[in-house]
Chains A and B, each alone.
Chain A
């Protein structure tokens, strides 16, 4: 769970870095998208790296979701008779949202793939340039696309807030109060940086900073 989660984190960091190239202009962004596909050629076939990444991500998502649903099931079986009154004292909001938040992310990822990868969902006319596709998707008249992405980033932030801390615990990195505080900070930090970084692009387009 932690390992697959960290794979995602690694991936989303890269992904975000790529997205932020939007601010460097159309050329840079398209160049980056192209580069992704030709990286490693001729050692790797065309789109080789992309497929490797996709395979790793797919395996990770399967592993991650499998582990998540197993834990979920165990928790349900561990307490079949619920409390009449139960107070949560220490649980953070993010920790309570892991399961449904995770499912939300899964749905979003599917939507996201249909949107930008397979282009099945075509929100504002199909464009050849990746840059144009991005920019046209987040135009003010298509505000609901932006809302979906922003909500998803909110969910991602929540998931990472608890996920990063939790992964550190799971990996046995937090054996004292100091390291626990650090892991918690890392959770908040990564959540803000990643979700914020991603959100920057649609927001900027929406507000006309990028066009």
Chain B
């Protein structure tokens, strides 16, 4: 963008942001203006600018999560104009301001799910994911007890598929986007990753039954196969994994678990 005199100026944006002081207090939307936003900024850098501005004005900066800022840790996650991680298939931290227009109004909300309670502003608690993993999202092998790595061959296709499903970063966008507030994509990704490998077979039935039980216990909704999750997923985990999850669950039930 260029001003009449040819010097570069940034975009002006109106931000509607959810502000909530802590987990127990009510929150509401607040409107802020930011100026001089460069299109090379990441979305979170734009929020950094806002926060510097708020700090200078003596207002409490907006709390939001981020860590790696390169799309891999899964810490960031905002609902941007009604889309989890915004309009591009990537994480919030990898979304850049060139995806927005000068003068635009952007609505920013936290992930909304009762299983992900808001802690402050845009920060939510995703501990439920860890608790689902605790119920079986692993292969039980104590340190030191592993056999030689080449003692088991794994067909390349299986290893590749396991890898693809293991790329889930646990960001929770699938839950945020799901009209049912279900975490089936997240869970399915883990079940497919481990179930695809020979090492994962011994605990396969138990894993799916226990993880699903925990999922339901946490208060996530049930899947009705709408597909919002997969289109919000920054790692493009496909809907197959939910089918796989259901299949494994059925098999486990057949085995009487």
Chains A and B share a contact (CB less than 8 Å): yes
B53, CB-defined interface residue at 8 Å: no
Given contacts A85-B82, A170-B246, contact A95 B224 (CB under 8 A): yes
Residues in B neighbouring A82, C-beta threshold 8 A = 112
CA of A83 to CA of B177, assembled, Å: 10
* A117 sits at the interface (CB 8 A): no
Contact: B246 with A84, CB < 8 Å?
Answer: no
Q: Does B172 contact A (CB under 8 A)?
A: no
Question: Contacts A78-B221, A82-B112, A85-B107; is A172 near B228 (CB within 8 Å)?
Answer: no
Q: In the complex the two chains form, is B219's CB within 8 Å of A78's CB?
A: yes
Q: Does B109 contact A (CB under 8 A)?
A: yes
Q: A88 vs B179: C-alpha distance in the bound complex, in angstroms? A: 9
Q: Are A166 and B225 in contact (CB under 8 A)?
A: yes
- Which of B79, B180, B230, B246 interacts with A74 by CB under 8 Å? B180
Residues in A neighbouring B29, C-beta threshold 8 A:
84
Contact call A175/B221, Cβ cutoff below 8 A:
no
A98→B179 CA distance, assembly (Å): 12
Knowing A90-B230, A171-B246, the reply to whether A78 touches B225 (Cβ < 8 A) is: no
- Contacts A79-B114, A87-B82 given; does A165 touch B243 at CB 8 Å: no
A80 to B221, CA, bound (A): 11
State whether the Cβ of B232 lies closer than 8 Å to any Cβ in chain A: yes
**Of all chain A residues, which has the CB nearest B222?**
A71
- B92 interfacial by beta-carbon distance below 8 Å: no
Bitwise, B219-243 to A at CB < 8 A (1) or not (0) is 1111111111011100000111011
CB of A43 closer than 8 Å to a CB of B: no
Q: How many interface residues does chain A have, given as a range?
A: 35 or more
**Cβ of A205 < 8 Å from any Cβ of B?**
no
Q: Which of B180, B222, B224 has the most CB of A within 10 A?
A: B224
- Residues of chain A within 8 A of B244, CB atoms compared: 172, 175
**Contact (Cβ within 8 A) A71 B179:** no
B222 touches A169 (CB 8 A): no
User: What are 7 A-B residue pairs whose CB atoms fall within 8 Å in the complex?
Assistant: A88-B179, A90-B231, A92-B227, A169-B243, A171-B247, A172-B243, A173-B243
Q: Which residues of B contact A (CB under 8 A)?
A: 16, 18, 29, 79, 81-83, 107, 109, 112-115, 177, 179-182, 219-228, 230-232, 238-240, 242-250
- Taking A78-B182, A171-B250, A175-B247 as known contacts, 17 extra A-B pairs with beta carbons closer than 8 A to each other, sorted by chain A number, are A71-B180, A77-B221, A78-B219, A79-B112, A83-B82, A83-B112, A86-B79, A89-B232, A92-B227, A95-B226, A172-B244, A172-B245, A172-B246, A172-B250, A175-B240, A180-B238, A180-B240
